[in-house]
Amino acid sequence: MSRTIFDSPWLRPVLRPLSRGVLRLLGWQLHGELSPQAERCVVIAAPHTSNWDFPFTLLAAFGLGMRIRWLGKAALFRPPFGWLMRWLGGIPVHRERANNLIAASVLALKESEGPLQLVVAPEGTRSRAAQWKAGFHHIARGAGLPIQLSYLDWGTHSCGLGPLVEPTEDVEGDIARIRAFYAPLRGRNADQFDAG
């Protein structure tokens, strides 16, 4: 995998306190710490209802000392800003060719070295989604990694990390338990988030 801002030894020590300070100035509280068991994991990013979720997710990741990679639609990686999206940890997804996305993600996670948290939005869209996509669960199980719950709650202006979940063979049961954690949270566009 290509190097990102999260791998920059001269930026990492600066980004953590700076991001925490920016979040405080914006009236947000950051909660949690990445546990050693989550050094390599799949991270759920929810609620995802606005483009504003992206900069706040980056600030939270920097503030928590994470080394994230995230999946985004290929259109985000076109010139002139494609290089920036990749440097910020982005991996382009061609939705018309996404039939092997899970297998490719599992392989990339298995082949990568060192700390890595792959961020996935289970809603798959900023629009209201009654069903969550199970791809994050299949990726985590296939790579033998835990699922780290993370959140942006626009109702309380708090963000951070929730529990760490070990995926089981009961995909529907796991997703139901995970969605229960997100049920009280509010997205920026509250009517577009359905964790129930």
Residues 6+ apart with CB under 8 A from 164: 35, 37, 38, 41, 146, 147, 148, 149
Separation between Cα atoms, residue 81 and residue 135, nearest integer Å: 27
Q: Please state, in angstroms and as integers, the Cα–Cα distance from residue 56 to each residue in 61, 113, 169, 182, 188, following that order.
A: 8, 26, 33, 17, 11
Separation between Cα atoms, residue 53 and residue 32, nearest integer Å: 18
Residues 6+ apart with CB under 8 A from 162: 32, 148, 149, 150, 151, 181
Encode the chain (196 residues) as per-residue pLDDT tens digits: 678 999 888 998 899 999 999 999 999 999 999 999 999 999 999 998 899 999 999 999 999 999 999 988 888 899 999 999 999 999 887 766 556 788 888 888 888 888 999 999 887 554 554 678 899 999 999 999 999 999 999 999 999 999 999 999 999 999 999 999 999 999 898 776 655 5
With beta carbons less than 8 A apart as the criterion, state whether 166 and 173 touch: no
Residue with tokens 């995970």: 178
- Report the SS3 class of residue 154: coil
The pTM of the full predicted model, rounded to 2 decimals, is 0.89
